[in-house]
């Protein structure tokens, strides 16, 4: 699992950064970073190595758009981890046959 925390500024020299704009840009750049890293991956590459490359690439893309952005370890308390590409069963889901 590739865990990381995304930090985006709420203001820039041009003014306030709208939440919707930041969310859309962060999602787009995450997709671009993942595509770039995975398209250059080789069979046998370790997930930890790919995760590290993804985080570096993602941070570079974010910083081009939002100066002061950062990608780091999950440190903020009270923030729910969001898994991508993993289907989790909830306790209120009906049992699967």
Strands (E) located in the chain:
5-7, 11-12, 15-16, 70-72
Whole-number Å distance between alpha carbons of 85 and 69: 24
Per-residue pLDDT of the chain (97 residues), as tens digits, is 788 888 888 887 778 888 888 889 899 999 999 999 999 999 999 988 999 999 999 999 999 888 888 888 877 777 776 666 555 566 665 655 5
Task: Check residue 56 and give its pLDDT.
Answer: 93
Residue whose tokens read 């069963």:
89
Provide Rg for the chain, Cα atoms: 16
């Amino acid at each position: 699992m590739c865990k990381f925390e995304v930090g985006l500024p709420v203001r820039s020299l041009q003014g306030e950064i709208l939440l919707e704009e930041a969310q859309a840009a962060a999602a787009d750049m995450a997709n671009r970073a993942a595509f770039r890293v995975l398209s250059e991956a080789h069979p046998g590459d370790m997930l930890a190595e790919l995760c590290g490359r993804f985080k570096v690439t993602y941070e570079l893309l974010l910083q081009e758009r939002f100066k002061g952005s950062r990608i780091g370890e999950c440190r903020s308390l009270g923030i729910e981890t969001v898994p991508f590409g993993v289907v989790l069963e909830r306790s209120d889901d009906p049992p699967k046959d």
